[in-house]
Amino acid sequence: MKFLFQGRFTPGRGIDELIEGWAAVDGERAALFLRGPDNMWREAAMEKAAQLGLLGRSVYFLEAVREDELVAAAAEADIGVIPYKPLILNDRLSCPNKLSQYLHAGLMVLANDLPYVKSVLSEAEAGLFYTSADLSTLVAAVNEILDDPALLRRGRENARRFARECFNWQVQGEVLLALYQGADAAQPEPAMPAHVASHAPAA
């Protein structure tokens, strides 16, 4: 089964913990693919995987693709991974681009316990969660997916449905427009400045 992370390799994204946890995953049943531009942190991640004896056995590094190819490239996997660590408010409440990419690619998502990401995936019924502070939860979530093909099938179907019916710009753009229109309608008419009102012609 193919698990995929795609994105930039930078500190705080939980990639080191993801690789460390993968040492306890059955490499005969689950492979982790990491795709992203080359940089010093990608090289460090490759070195860590090699040190753990995982590189080329159950952990693989893929070349980056263009932005407009990310969804199609993700569709080659079964499960998308969002390992970001909840270090700051932005991490906890942001919407990573890969969340949308994975859902539109029809992937079930395995994510670190991030409040916003969790709220979306829970609504979509398309994800499982772990905490990077306890990597046994990562292994347990991976095993749950491996042991339950029906769970994976439902997760992928739900991801496609949610992306098609809700998690797209056509739908969310209407929500945003309604918010702006509502805010504009709630604004009171601006009062005429006193120095202007005193010189205004009588009706």
Show me where the domains of the chain are located.
2-186
Q: Residue 33: its pLDDT value, please?
A: 99
> Alpha-carbon distance 16 to 176, whole Å?
37
Q: Residue 170: its pLDDT value, please?
A: 61
Question: Is the predicted pLDDT of residue 194 greater than 90, yes or no?
Answer: no
Of 3.40.50.2000, 3.50.50.60, 1.10.1040.20, 2.40.430.10, the CATH number of 2-186 is 3.40.50.2000
pTM: 0.84
The arithmetic mean of pLDDT across residues 95-117, rounded, is 95
User: Exposure pattern of 167-199 as b/e (b: 16+ CB <10 Å)?
Assistant: beeeeeeeeeeeeeeeeeeeeeeeeeeeeeeee
Beta bridge partners of 127: 109
